[in-house]
Structure 1
Amino acid sequence: MGRLLSLALALRGHRIDLYDAHGPEGDGAAARVAAAMLAPLAESAITEPGVVRMGQHALKRWPELLARLQQPVFFQQNGTLILWHRQDQADAARFFGLLEKNRRINPSLPAMEEKTGAALQDCEPALQNRFSQAVYLPGEGQLDNRQLMAALLPTLTELDVKLHWHAPRELSDFAPGRAGQPDFVFDCRGLGARSQWKDLRGIRGEVVRIHAPEVTLQRPTRLIHPRYPIYIAPKEDHLFVIGATEIESDDMSPASVRSTLELLSAAYTVHPGFAEGRIVEIATQCRPTLPDNLPAVRLLAPRVMEVNGLYRHGFMISPAMLDVVLELVDHNDSPLAREFEVAVHRS
């Protein structure tokens, strides 16, 4: 969020200093660990209509933002495929019932498409008849989060953004508007802002990155699971990000054996080629989450704007949150915030 906002403001000609508690690779941030799926219809089963509208907005905005960068970033919009095993048919029916209910609330969402037999084989040839039926969600996308974070850096540098790495800051370190101080401060620190947002909490996630040359999937694939839907997000060069776990905890310790076994076993049931893949990384991180699991903006002090609570939808909604912030900067009001039902708290 901070890097996207720095880019947008620098393109407008503002002089920007960007402070990060960690390094340029994004270590310590949920953004580095994320799968970066852009799936508003799939996420509609577990989130509010406003978040879904933000996801739809972002699918249009991401290509515009990526076009501003000097380096290419993997981005695709090949939809999402949802699979389930026979014993999980009841869970699948409940899940699709939620999707259909939310599509009635938001009719601009595309219709789900059932895939069986030859249609399923044509949609995802790599499955090789391992599943007899699936549901395809058209229009959904994904990008490579680590490529994006890396690609932002040379563009920010070219725009003369001053990058301060390993430089944690508190809002009390600044006196915006005073001589020698910034005109405005934007706080996008996520969990780093817990001293300011007393009700901010972490939601732990665990992902496995696998290089599997024998596996080719053309789009993110979700597997209905008794405990939680598991996703497999294919990146370039047969790299896959596999995850799902969502644990109410600020625990940053390594992934549990149980979670890792579940993720790897689920991937193997989708495609046996994962058995010969290589585990590149097992990562954990906590996502910044407010009590209602929705994002918010605060304007509680003069010349200070706080953006937080993107929860598990960071890449899916960050362009929408960016545009909300820019409207507030320009007009001290945001029609988009009302459209997306984003809370804007003022002093």
Structure 2
Amino acid sequence: MNATPGRADAFPPQPSPQGGEGVREPASRSAVLTSPAGGGGREGDAPRIGIAGAGLAGRLLAWRLLRAGYVVELFDAHARADRSSAGPTAAAMLSPTAELAAADAGIHALGVASLSIWPQWLAELHAQTGREVYFRREGTLVVAHAADRGALDHYTALLRAHLPAGGEDASMQALGGKQISALEPLLAARFTQGLYLPQEGQLANDQLYAALAAALDAGLAACGGAWHEGAAIDVVEPAALVDTHGRRHGFDLAVDCRGIGARNGVPGLHGVRGEVLTVFAPGVSLRRPVRLIHPRYAIYVAPRPGGQFVVGATELDSEDAGPPTLRSTLELGSALYSLHPEFGEARVLRLAAALRPALPDHHPVAGLDAGGVWRINGLFRHGYLIAPALVRQVEQGIAEALGAPGPQTELRHAA
């Protein structure tokens, strides 16, 4: 994946949490944005924030802002239970090291930062809603068949070349057959060489979406906010959202989290098609995600609770959001079967495709654009890996712009 020049004029590159240029944000946040339509409410009320887009970034940001005491309204073109967008159509692997084969140090730094945020946020969600979200941090296993040893060597070299200085010993370990068998007994005697990336993790995105929906329902009801389903937003202004019927909804501040729906506001934004297969194989046991390296592709198999596995690999620069193709389905299925024959009896539960929002350089944007609009977009294939770091960055920027709500508001809306 070759990076191309990004839109530095609209989102000037800024250092990522641990160096690099993984995310663009504004150089300053000096203005307090107010709605010309009077959307800010009465003096002393909590600031009102409108969020366009209820995907992963939009839901996380809305939840964080509600917990901070803001009044939030969330708008989305789809129903909350819709599964056709990028967030529900993902394996939700948290793999900052594995992704270095196709990403840079900036994305890696955002991923490492997000890995430290996820446990805290999931604990807060559980305390607020009583819902458990499957989260494991037992690393990633990378393997290849003997005939594909060259592809594994190339992949290993890419990781080593892109890892931050001094990080190799902690981030990756070369394995022999016995070590692979010790980590994943299912794969005993099937692979003789591989890599272990011990710092990585995964979560169940369906459980996360359900927990966020419950938390948002409670928070929105408490503050007088709303979740507008089937309400597509056409234009995002600094302090207003304009829907496709021309209605203008005024706020103290508006945020654009529409993903691929923000093409009219984010130059260069385009869709990258991803396809995933979900199977039920109760007789198969894996403790951690496994990546199978092949000269033409690299598939991942991510275990889920209840004997389910999410399998993916395909990535096409295409805005076709139609059903998965026969070719990609055969590739996913045959690669899964080659990992272990027991997958041959797996039941197919879901076969889905979605468009991931991406920019030409495959870096995200998070912050104010040149027109004064707050945006989170361009997460590409790294949504769950980097979303918490981006959301926290924007949450902090909004607090600087609007000021934190007063103690009375915080107590009134506390979870």
1:133 matched to 2:203:
no
1:1-347 alignment, distance < 5 Å: 1-69=57-125, 70=129, 71-105=131-165, 107=167, 110-160=170-220, 161-171=225-235, 175-176=239-240, 181-297=250-366, 298-302=368-372, 304-331=373-400
Distance 1:148 1:259, change over 3 A: same
Letter in 2 for 1:46: A
Letter in 2 for 1:248: D
Distance 1:173 1:124, change over 3 A: same
Structure of higher CA gyration radius: 2
Query: What do residues 109-128 of structure 1 show as CA deviations (whole Å, max 9, x unaligned)?
Result: 82311222332211101113
Number of residues paired by the alignment? Answer: 330
Q: What secondary structure, in the 3-state scheme, does the structure 2 residue paired with 1:32 have?
A: coil
CA contact (8 A) 1:188 1:306 kept: yes
Query: What do residues 7-54 of structure 1 show as CA deviations (whole Å, max 9, x unaligned)?
Result: 110001101001111111243320010100000000011101010000
Unaligned runs of 5+ in 1: 333-347
Mapped partners of 1:185, 1:116: distance in 2: 53
CA contact (8 A) 1:80 1:136 kept: yes
Letter in 1 for 2:295: P
Q: What secondary structure, in the 3-state scheme, does the structure 2 residue paired with 1:244 have?
A: strand
Mapped partners of 1:310, 1:109: distance in 2: 28
Unaligned runs of 5+ in 2: 1-56, 242-247, 402-415
Mapped partners of 1:112, 1:266: distance in 2: 24
The structural deviation recorded for 1:301 is: 3.4
The structural deviation recorded for 1:327 is: 2.6
Distance 1:19 1:259, change over 3 A: same
Q: What secondary structure, in the 3-state scheme, does the structure 2 residue paired with 1:245 have?
A: strand
Query: What do residues 109-159 of structure 1 show as CA deviations (whole Å, max 9, x unaligned)?
Result: 823112223322111011131112221110100001111011101111111
Mapped partners of 1:215, 1:308: distance in 2: 37
Distance 1:330 1:175, change over 3 A: closer
CA RMSD across the alignment: 1.9
Mapped partners of 1:25, 1:50: distance in 2: 33
The structural deviation recorded for 1:106 is: 6.6
The structural deviation recorded for 1:209 is: 0.5
Distance 1:13 1:109, change over 3 A: farther
Distance 1:174 1:54, change over 3 A: closer
The structural deviation recorded for 1:215 is: 0.8
Mapped partners of 2:199, 2:63: distance in 1: 27
Mapped partners of 1:204, 1:253: distance in 2: 9
Q: What secondary structure, in the 3-state scheme, does the structure 1 residue paired with 2:87 have?
A: helix
| Structure with greater helix percent | 1
CA contact (8 A) 2:105 2:163 kept: no
CA contact (8 A) 2:73 2:226 kept: yes
The structural deviation recorded for 1:96 is: 0.1
Mapped partners of 2:156, 2:334: distance in 1: 23
Distance 1:106 1:165, change over 3 A: farther
TM-score (norm 2): 0.76
Letter in 2 for 1:306: R
Distance 1:234 1:180, change over 3 A: closer
Query: What do residues 60-91 of structure 1 show as CA deviations (whole Å, max 9, x unaligned)?
Result: 10011111212110000010000101111111
Mapped partners of 2:357, 2:262: distance in 1: 9
Distance 1:174 1:56, change over 3 A: closer
